[in-house]
Amino acid sequence: MSCIEVHSLSKSYSSILAVDTIDLSVESGQVFGFLGPNGAGKSTVIKLLTTLIQPDSGQISVLGVNAIKEPLKIRKKIGVVLQQPSYEPTLSVEKSLEKYGMMWNVDKKTRQIRTEELLESFELTQIRKKKNEDLSIGQRRRVQVAREFMHDMDLLFLDEPTVGLDPSARRKLLDFLKNKVKDTGMTIFYTTHVLTEAEYLCDNIAIINNGKIITVDSPNELKNRFGNEKTIKIHVSEQFIQLPNLLKDIPDCNIEKSDGIIITIHSTNSEIVLMNILKILNQNNIPISDLSAMPTNLEEIFLKVVSDSDASNN
């Protein structure tokens, strides 16, 4: 069942076409990653899907409801955490959670139960009495995300939710979200600039650039489609400035960077390329400290897809 259906959606700001006739379908019960560089159109799409702004043209269906004609009906069923900080400075952490539950008409007993659960899940118990204005940026962000779970929802929009979180808090949040989707069947629409997060969390990923959807697929399928290259890194024992010149004639040996000590190469035929590299290094008596060949990760795929998109538009 589709949670979000978008057809020929467009939105302009003056002469800037922020969203350019996109089509998008998001199935229920998954974490859907929405990735793109700054200015690609991500925030505009989220504002359209959450009914904060109206499109210039196109159709939007969210949870089976026409988002253009019945925006209030949708807002009752969704949660939204935007990039901008949002907190009540003088309220304590626990009072913030309780107030948010009251805003959503959650009964008192349920508010109390959920407050305790969320304080524990987001590791906020020890600071429950602290005012929001006295919290660190990361602590405020955890409160901002936690309070959204005070009410029931079928669809949650999270826009860069881990900004300001340390690695431990980030992983715990990602695991919390994974378990929520698994246990409740809710859908999460997730944007991030941290590609390792998307790879760990998301079932499917859409990449947007210049207002257009470039591709939609699972992380593994994106790797299969775009990640047939491997990244080869060579670390020689001493600086050898001429090393790139020795390797440049090897077929399918695309040198990305080199400082004479560490050289990074991309290749779709890594085994043969590695054999040729080792042969040349041996012939020139260049000692190796370390050598590795790693599959291309999601970040490199993202950079490649966006770069190819930019090139096709120029």
> pLDDT of 244-254, one tens digit each?
788 888 887 77
Q: Are residues 170 and 193 in the same domain?
A: yes
Please give the C-alpha separations between residue 278 and each of 80, 127, 243, in angstroms, as whole numbers. 53, 57, 12
Q: Are residues 99 and 200 in the same domain?
A: yes
On whether residue 313 sits in a domain, the answer given is no
What pLDDT shows up at residue 257? 65
Q: Are residues 134 and 242 in the same domain?
A: no
Mean pLDDT score, 65-69 = 95
On whether residue 246 sits in a domain, the answer given is yes
Mean pLDDT score, 188-205 = 93
Of 79, 73, 67, 70, nearest in space to 6 by CA? 67
On whether residue 193 sits in a domain, the answer given is yes
Last residue of a domain, one of 217, 240, 263: 217
Who contacts 254 (Cβ-Cβ below 8 Å, separation ≥6)?
Answer: 265, 266, 267
Q: Are residues 197 and 258 in the same domain?
A: no
Q: Are residues 159 and 280 in the same domain?
A: no
Q: Which residues of 147-162 are buried (b: 16+ CB within 10 A; e: fewer)?
A: bbbbbebbbbbbbbbb
> pLDDT of 18-34, one tens digit each?
999 999 999 999 999 99
On whether residue 305 sits in a domain, the answer given is no
What residue type is assigned to position 233 of the chain?
K
Query: Is the pLDDT reported for residue 313 higher than 80?
Result: no
On whether residue 123 sits in a domain, the answer given is yes
Length in residues, the chain? 314
Tokens of 179: 């378990």
Mean pLDDT score, 211-235 = 82
Q: Are residues 196 and 112 in the same domain?
A: yes
In CATH, what number is assigned to the domain containing residue 145?
A: 3.40.50.300
Please give the C-alpha separations between residue 279 and each of 43, 230, 233, 234, 246, in angstroms, as whole numbers. 50, 19, 16, 13, 11
Who contacts 185 (Cβ-Cβ below 8 Å, separation ≥6)?
Answer: 28, 29
Return the minimum-mean-pLDDT range out of 66-80, 134-148, 170-184, 263-277.
263-277
Q: Are residues 249 and 117 in the same domain?
A: no
**Which of the pair, 277 or 131, is modelled with greater confidence?**
131
* Predicted TM-score of the model (pTM): 0.80
On whether residue 35 sits in a domain, the answer given is yes
The rounded mean pLDDT for the chain is 89
Q: Are residues 238 and 277 in the same domain?
A: yes
Query: Is the pLDDT reported for residue 261 higher than 80?
Result: no
What pLDDT shows up at residue 255? 76
Q: Which helix (H) or strand (E) holds 182?
A: helix 167-184
pLDDT above 70 covers a percentage of the chain that reads 97
Q: Are residues 114 and 186 in the same domain?
A: yes
Query: Is the pLDDT reported for residue 125 higher than 70?
Result: yes
Query: Is the pLDDT reported for residue 229 higher than 70?
Result: no
Last residue of a domain, one of 154, 189, 217: 217
Contact between 124 and 145 under an 8 Å Cβ cutoff? The reply is: no
On whether residue 176 sits in a domain, the answer given is yes
On whether residue 312 sits in a domain, the answer given is no
Q: Are residues 83 and 52 in the same domain?
A: yes
Query: Is the pLDDT reported for residue 243 higher than 90?
Result: no
Q: Using pLDDT thresholds of 50, 70 and 90, give the confidence band for residue 228.
A: low
Q: Are residues 209 and 268 in the same domain?
A: no
Contact between 71 and 48 under an 8 Å Cβ cutoff? The reply is: no
Q: Residue 155: phi, psi to the nearest 5?
A: -145, 130
Range of the domain at 265: 229-295
Last residue of a domain, one of 162, 197, 217: 217
Query: Is the pLDDT reported for residue 227 higher than 70?
Result: no
Q: Using pLDDT thresholds of 50, 70 and 90, give the confidence band for residue 260.
A: low
> pLDDT of 271-281, one tens digit each?
788 888 888 88
What pLDDT shows up at residue 269? 78
139-145 contacts: CB < 8 A, separation 24 or more? 140/85, 140/87, 140/164, 141/85, 141/165, 142/169, 142/173, 143/87, 143/93, 143/96, 143/97, 144/81, 144/85, 144/86, 144/87, 145/81, 145/173
The residues with which 62 forms a beta bridge, in sequence order, are 4, 65
Domain count along the chain:
2
Cα-based torsion angle of the residue sequence 123, 127, 131, 136 in order, rounded to the nearest 10 degrees: -60
Q: Are residues 240 and 142 in the same domain?
A: no
